[in-house]
Each structure stands twice: as structure tokens, then as C-alpha cells.
Amino acid sequence: MKVKISANAYYLPETVESIEALQNDNPDWDIPKILDKTGVRKRVISDENQTAVDMAYEAAKKLFQDKDNYESIDLLVLVTQSPDYVLPTSACILQDRLGLSKKCMAFDVNLGCSGFVYALSIVGSLIESGVASTGLILCADTYSKYINKNDRTCRPLFSDGASATMLERCESDNLGLFELGTDGSGYKHLIVKNSGSRLDNEVLNQKRGSLEMHGSDVFLFTMNTVPQCITNLLKRSDYSLDDIDMFVFHQASKLVIENIVRLMLLDVDKVFTNFENIGNTVSASIPIALKDADNQGRLKEGDMVMLIGFGVGLSWGATIIKWTIQ
């Protein structure tokens, strides 16, 4: 597609929770073992009254500081699984708060870990087809609000955060083919029960469900799916692993990414990670990692970058972008 990422920014809440805080709350936890699996030393947590919309707004405002043509935005997509309301659509709220044109399309995409890649395919296609000219992808999730403080599977891993990514038309192809897929049979492996219209009879009085993750099932899904996803995308794009300058995975965990690297025989120097001091920010993890890689000088003009998202759904997606200086 003749579309490029022209700007990228992110926002993280001020509250930082260290691995030591987990030990204080749960003295019986084997912290070294948890750290060895997750690789996460610090996570960021939204304030009690801070929502995904609030964080997405802050990420967009940071992007607008560096990009002065935001008034041309005619497409807004919010990727979130923790909207402010069941209805109305949270993207509509953000269109108003950000002062975007009333001619701007705005809608939500209810996806998690694969959401950014899916949003790239949607926004890129709408721009390529002429339906839109400038698109803004906002990714924001507040998983911490659904996690029990004594949950040793989810709490040491997930963070809250938001990203803002602008896409525009360009003269050359910078957004590649997409490899997307779904296995809904595994929907229960990452789920917040009693959070919508389907309620379990025995907990009808429960105000809000808690995030449940069957870690071993999600891990097996990832190991079976992601390598094949990468292989398929490379074949369809007529690239080899050597042609890719940087791999940016959804920042799932140390265990997951290390095993993908091992299975695919990837050059570890080409794999960017930042989960250690940020944690797993769900839909925002890939664009946040892209921004950090750029800030650290790891990306240069023309680099071929593969983006791979996978997780809740179960859902996965990958694409290859040609990096352009922002």
C-alpha cells in the first residue's frame, strides 16, 4: 500500500509498580521464578478514575505536538478491550475531545494483542482505496482494572498504556501484505467473564469479572501459530528472514519471545523488546516498542520491519512495513 506511518507517540500512566511490590502483597509468591518467565521488572498502572479514553487522549495530544496536520485526520480507529462504556463508541468520544472534524469517521476495534496490526490493515486499506486521506490509530487498554491483586498469572505481566499512530498517503509502497487469522475455539483461554451480556448464573450479583488467563494454553497457541504466521507472510511477500531488519513482536513476555526466537532461529539482535520496564500493554505494545526502537536509534530509513501481534481471541496478525523517518 502507498501508505506510511508518519508519526507515532505513546502515553504511560504515572504509577509504576515494581516486582518488589508484588512480593510485599504476596509473600508466598516465587518472585525469581515469575521474573524468569515474564521478564517484567516494572509495570505501569492507570489511576482509579483514569480510563482507556483518557490515556488515548493523552497519547494523541503528544503526537499532535510533533505533527501539525492533525486537522486533516478524517479517520479515527480506537483499538481497546476496556472501553469507557458498552455504548456509545469510545472513538466518538475521542473525536470530540480531540477536536477532530465532524467529517471524521470514528469507530472502535475490539481486539487486544493483535489489534494494532489489524488496525493497520483497516486504516491502510481505507486510505489506499480513497475513502480516507489521513488516519489516526489509537490503542489503549486498562487491563489492570480487571486483574485480581492475588492473581500470580496476570498481575506480574500486564500494564496499562496507550499509543497514537498517524498514517498518510505517500508515493511509495511502505505498508506490506498482511497475514491475519483467528481461532475462536480458544476464546476462554483469555477472558473476563461476566463483563457483558452473558452472565454466569451463580455470580449474577458480581459487578465485574476478573481477567482469567490459561497461560499454558496461550503459550502453546503462540508456539504453534506465530512461527507459521511469519513463514506464510515471508513466502507471500517474497522475502527471507535475512531481508528483515527488525522484528517487533507483541511484548507478551520473556518466555514467549525467547521461544519464538529459538524456534525461528532469529538473530536476537534483530528482535526489539521493551517489556522489562513497561510490561505487556496489550494492543499498544507494538507501537510503543516501535517508538522506543526509533528513539534508541535502532531504526533507519528504509528498514524492513516485521510486526507480529498475537493473543486474546485467539487472534493473530503480521505485516511488514518499510520504515520512514518521522
Quote the cell numbers at residue 12. 504511560
Quote the cell numbers at residue 111. 481486539
Contact assessment for residue 309 and residue 318, using Cβ atoms and an 8 Å cutoff? yes
Burial label for 325, CB within 10 Å (0-12, 13-18, 19+), is exposed
Side chain identity at 266, as an amino acid letter? L
Quote the cell numbers at residue 101. 472534524
Q: Residues 139, 154, 194, 250: which is the catalytic one?
A: 250
Burial label for 258, CB within 10 Å (0-12, 13-18, 19+), is middle
Please state whether the peptide bond connecting residue 13 to the residue before it is cis, i.e. omega within 30 degrees of 0: no
The 10 Å CB-count burial string (b at 16+, else e) for 214-236 is ebeebbebbeebbeebbeebbee
Question: Can you give the C-alpha Rg of the chain in angstroms?
Answer: 19
Strands 3-11 and 161-169: antiparallel
Side chain identity at 26, as an amino acid letter? N
Q: Residues 8, 104, 113, 229: which is the catalytic one?
A: 113
Catalogue the E-assigned strands of 61-158.
75-79, 105-109, 134-141
Quote the cell numbers at residue 178. 498482511
Q: Residues 8, 174, 274, 280: which is the catalytic one?
A: 280
Residue 280 appears among annotated catalytic residues:
yes
Kindly write down the DSSP assignment for every residue of 163-186, as one continuous string.
EEEEEEE-SS--EEEEEEEE-GGG
* Residues classed as catalytic: 113, 250, 280
